[in-house]
Homo-oligomer: A and B are copies of this chain.
Amino acid sequence: MGLQNGHPLTTSLEEQGDGQSFLKEAFNVILEEVLRKGTNVQEKVCEWQDPAELSALLDLELREGGENQQQLLKRVQDVARYSVKTCHPYFFNQLFSGTDYHSLAGRFLTESLNTSQYTYEVAPVFVLMENEVLSKLRHMVGWPDGDGIFCPGGSMSNMYAMNVARYRAFPQVKVQGMWALPRLAIFTSQESHYSVCKAASFQGIGLENIFTVKVDERGCMIPEDLEDKIELARSQGSVPLLVSATSGTTIQGAFDPLDRIADICARNSLWLHVDAAWGGSVLFSSTHKHLLKGIERADSVAWNPHKMLMAGLQCSVFLMKDTTDLLKRCHCANATYLFQQDKFYDVSLDTGDKSIQCGRKVDCLKLWLMWKAVGSRGLGQRVDKAFENTRYLVGKMKTREGFQLVNEVAPIIKERMVRKGCMMVGYQPQKGRVNFFRMVIISPQITRKDLDFFLDEIERLGNDL
């Protein structure tokens, strides 16, 4: 009995049975506590506890001895209970929400198979599957060919873009470092995601070499100002390298005018990267994909299906138009213990040399299985439903009394909301505006009734303010 108190799994076949029975019981807890209760509007979105209390409730400390199965199942239950139910219909707090059961099945399978995406040898199914998913996503962008890789989040995708753009322009950077290069300039709008800044710092380009382009009142990059900023950079002796346009900004959900930006990039020989982490999935909708018109002219795209498509964290791709093996040339290290060239299969299938990681989690299966389940058409309908729901909510808000901007009520309403556990919505200030709620609508399981609840509840929570 390998699972007894304090005993590790030290013998072989015996505990496979014990282990599997524990897993089955844990699975039942997950079904009940996370998936059934978590998606029930009668239940709370979160069970708020102050950090010190929660820490005590969970008994987090790790000790010398082990625990028995009953204690461990109780722990599974506690983790489920006190965690936020991001699958709940009233969770509007982040750019992800809802649950897709096909994706979830794919995620369980991924975890059970526990492999790394770097070679065909240890991940034959996933290497081929990743190729298929990337190819399909590239086709949606408008590229018959190209390259790409799944990576751990949109911030990393944006870093990849900056690195391959730099390498294409100045291949000596790989060996000689930045000292061999002229000062570079990066361009992005003031509404772009903060990961562009993080990337510039991390890669040794520096924040002061990011030129911030102005946006119009909808939050879209102003192309004329981009041209001005390129001129400004040149006048300061910098070499313009890359424009990071945004399709779906984090706060307003704005789409930069890609065609006009692409014209400017073409004239100035700049790498055009589109951060479509949030908005990329709109390409599935024939009704709304015009928002990304011009994306096919980009050199690279970041796109997170874990956001609008509900593929589950993490599911994020970096796509490139390049067909010259730039991704691999830029990142290869040719490790002999993984990427032997005398293997008995086509080693161009080994993806490790494209990546800045070594071990790389399998993130393609969940998206592939969900896509197989509902088809491109089904995914498009989900996107359409999110737009419809948004239109409905905006319409209701316009006609409802009492919904005007009031100074600084958002933090107070947020605290009441979370302590009550009734729903979750994020807030933030924005240039010239006070704190306001950012309502994010993703899941097709959201009904108009849920949206009415949102309005009623905001009203109730802020009634006396």
Complex-state Cα separation, A66 to B375, whole angstroms: 4
Q: How many residues of A contact B (CB 8 A)?
A: 176
B198/A333 in contact, CB under 8 A: yes
**Residue on B nearest A91 in the bound complex, by CB:** B122
Contact call B156/A120, Cβ cutoff below 8 A: no
Q: Which one of A75, A105, A107, A334 has the greatest number of beta carbons of chain B within 10 Å?
A: A105
- CA distance in complex: A108, B27 (Å): 8
Q: Which residues does chain B contribute within 8 Å of A373, judged by CB atoms?
A: 3, 66-67, 72
Would you give the shortest CB distance from A242 to chain B, in whole angstroms?
14
- Knowing A114-B86, A174-B207, A206-B180 touch, does A35 contact B16 (C-beta < 8 A)? yes
Q: In the complex, are the beta carbons of A177 and B208 less than 8 A apart?
A: yes
When C-beta atoms are compared, the residue in chain B nearest to A334 turns out to be: B194
Contacts of A183 in B (CB 8 A): 177, 179
By a CB distance below 8 angstroms, the chain B residues around A418 are 121, 344
Residue of B nearest to A14 (CB): B445
The reply to whether B207 and A54 contact each other, CB–CB distance below 8 Å, is no
A76 touches B58 (CB 8 A): no
Select A125's contact among B54, B116, B155, beta carbons within 8 Å. Answer: B54
Q: Is the CB of A203 within 8 A of B202?
A: yes
Known: A104-B112, A349-B51, A358-B193. Contact between A344 and B415, CB under 8 A?
Answer: yes
Q: Which of A261-269, A287-295, A421-429 contacts B (4 or more CB under 8 A)?
A: A421-429
A114: chain B residues within 8 A (beta carbon): 86-87, 96, 99, 312-313
How does the 8 Å CB contact mask read for A55-99 relative to B, with 1 for contact and 0 for none?
100101111111100011001100110111111010001101001
B359 touches A153 (CB 8 A): yes
Residues of chain B within 8 A of A328, CB atoms compared: none
The verdict on A216 contacting chain B, using a C-beta distance below 8 Å, is no
Q: Tell me the complex Cα distance, A447–B27, Å.
A: 29
Contact B337 A250 (CB under 8 A): yes
Shortest C-beta distance, A142 to chain B (Å), equals 17
User: Is there contact, CB below 8 Å, between B177 and A206?
Assistant: yes
B10 engages A336 (CB within 8 Å): no
Tell whether, in the assembled complex, residue A174 and residue B123 are in contact, meaning their CB atoms are under 8 Å apart: no
Instruction: Decide if A136 touches B203 in the complex (CB within 8 Å).
Output: no
Write out the residue numbers on chain B whose beta carbons fall within 8 Å of the beta carbon of A203. 202-204
What string of 1s and 0s marks CB contacts (under 8 Å) between A129-141 and chain B? 1001100100000
Contact residues, A191-216 vs B (CB, 8 A): 193-195, 197-198, 200-209
Determine the residue in chain B with the shortest Cβ distance to A151: B152
Contacts of A376 in B (CB 8 A): 62-64
* A162 vs B293: C-alpha distance when bound (angstroms): 40
The smallest C-beta distance from A14 to any residue of chain B, in angstroms, reads 9
A104 to B124, CA, bound (A): 22
Q: Is the CB of A208 within 8 A of B64?
A: no
The 6 A-B pairs at the shortest CB distance, nearest first, are namely: A177-B206, A204-B204, A19-B101, A8-B378, A178-B178, A26-B105
